[in-house]
Structure 1
Amino acid sequence: MILCPMPRTVLIVDDDPHIRQLLAFALDKAGLSPVEAADGEAGLAMAQAHKPDLVILDINMPRMDGLEVCRRLRTDGDTPILFLSSRDDEIDRVLGIELGADDYVVKPFSPREVVARVMAILRRTAARPPQVEEGRMLGHGRLTLDLDGWCAAWDGAEVALTVTEFSILRLLASMPAKVFSRDAIIDRLHGPGFAITDRTIDSHIRNLRHKFATAGAADLIETRAGIGYRLGPCTGA
């Protein structure tokens, strides 16, 4: 197993002590620094105290469920979130318009799979600088991407995106004429052979479309039936 080069804090929020112990052990072996919370309210307090680099969040918990925890975390920042779900039919809610989680794992799961997904998300966030600086830009129509600052804008107004959403949009904008299959998007984001479903990509695309539609962009991403996605003209039409 490849160890994380720098200690990164991962907050595990789950009411099952066995799951917390299992994940904490696996994350610690991977060179990460796990901290734990047994319910949603405690998870929010721990997030405030430890400022984790990533949160692993169970959906079904007493006192405050994971969906509400995610909503509150999103109001304070863009900390990456990986959801633990007991039912596959919850995934559209998890990755959907309101929440915008970065990834998910359905129970029962392999601790190695969770660690792999955590490391993939952290590799993407590690590329972000500590502050926004002038640097490389991508522009297409009314869309602008600040690659060094990890900032997306429509007509100069920032559109808040998760790490995964920005990564997908950056990929599409890098070759606006190219149609990317779902598998190609997964390979570019996570590396070849990474186990993730097409539904995950579709959910992130829906999320991107909704966020930009709110800003006036109705033509951000085009769907090519049976093939995949490409960047739209980004004219606002």
Structure 2
Amino acid sequence: MQKTLLIVEDEDILREIVKDYLLNEGYEVLEAVDGNEALAIFEEREVHLIILDIMLPELDGWSVCRRIRKSSNVPIIILTARVDEDDTLLGFELGADDYVTKPYSPPILLARVKRLMESRYAYTGELSNEDILTRNGIHVHFPSRTVTVDEEKIGLTHTEYEILTYLMQNPGIIITREQLITKIWGYEFAGDDRTVNSHIRNLRHKLGNKANSIVTVIRAGYKFEGKA
């Protein structure tokens, strides 16, 4: 099935360049030039990934991301011309999965899109025992990417889901922040430890009474503790 991407960018030239790259890869592309238009399109159409500029007229990207995360875990890549790390962390705290700093290379952005799309929508096989993982009352159903805690479904972003499953698949093993960055974002990612910490904090909050399943190992990283 053809996947639909939404580009939210008020600079016409940049939007057209990115659109051409995505069309050449076989994606359907929707466009919005401001935050309000983006939300209207998102409510009307099925969207599989959003490329979201932060500096937008009428309604900024932070607000758009915040509103979308109230009802959807669709992958979001934020575009920002800001270099302040606090701004980037804010995007992650609001639920963004990745970010690209302007000026950027369209092929690099395309690579980020493809990575997210392939990991988010790759499953096509039949259900088997390997498609289900349960530890410490946390249940992961890989085909639907559904996570439940004590039989109650919780909503995770793409990145939160990837971090949780990686830790759960390696119980008791210390996973460094560098390993998480490489596994989740790739070698080209320019983020730092605070990026990982932000996602772990959000993930623990959503896990509720199972938050202590993710243990911080000081000056080392994180590990998952809990029985199958």
Tell me, yes or no, whether TM beats 0.5.
yes
Unaligned runs of 5+ in 1: 1-5
Structure 1 residue 16 corresponds to structure 2 residue 8? no
Q: CA deviation at 1:190?
A: 4.7
Q: Distance in 2 between matches of 1:31 and 1:183?
A: 33
Residue pairs, 1:75-94, within 5 angstroms? 75-87=70-82, 88=84, 89-94=86-91
Counterpart residue number, 2:189: 195
Would the aligned equivalents of 1:182 and 1:201 in 2 still touch at CA under 8 Å?
yes
* d(CA) in 2 for partners of 1:172, 1:196: 22
Deviation, 1:57, is: 0.8
**Count of matched residue pairs:** 222
Q: Is the 8 A contact 1:219 1:233 kept in 2?
A: no
Moved more, 223-232 or 55-64: 223-232
Identical counterparts, % of pairs:
36
Q: Please name the residue that 1:31 is paired with.
A: 26
Give the superposition deviation at 1:128. 4.9
CA, structure 1 residues 26+165, in 2 after alignment: closer, same or farther (shift >3 Å)?
same
Three-state SS of the structure 2 residue aligned to 1:139 is strand
SS in 1 for 2:100: strand
- Conserved 8 A contact 2:35-2:56: yes
Extract unaligned runs of 5+ from structure 2.
none
The letter of the residue matching 1:225 is I
1:179 Cα deviation after fit: 1.2
**Residue in structure 2 matched with residue 3 of structure 1 by the alignment:** none
Q: Distance in 1 between matches of 2:157 and 2:139?
A: 16
Check the 8 A contact 1:176/1:232 in 2, yes or no: yes
Matched AA of 2:91: V
Contact 2:8 2:53 in 1 (8 A): yes
Deviation at 1:121, TM superposition (A): 0.6
Give the corresponding residue for 2:178: 183
The one-letter code matched in structure 1 to 2:92 is L
For 1:217, the equivalent position in structure 2 comes to 210
Distance 2:188 2:26 in 1: 21
TM-align CA RMSD: 2.3
Q: How does the TM-score come out when normalised to structure 1?
A: 0.84
Q: Could you tell me how far apart the structure 2 residues matched to 1:155 and 1:53 are?
A: 28
State the partner residue of 2:225: 232
For the 8 Å contact 1:128–1:150, the answer to whether it is kept is no
Q: Which runs of 4+ in 1 moved over 4 A?
A: none
Residue 155 in structure 1 maps to residue 150 in structure 2: yes
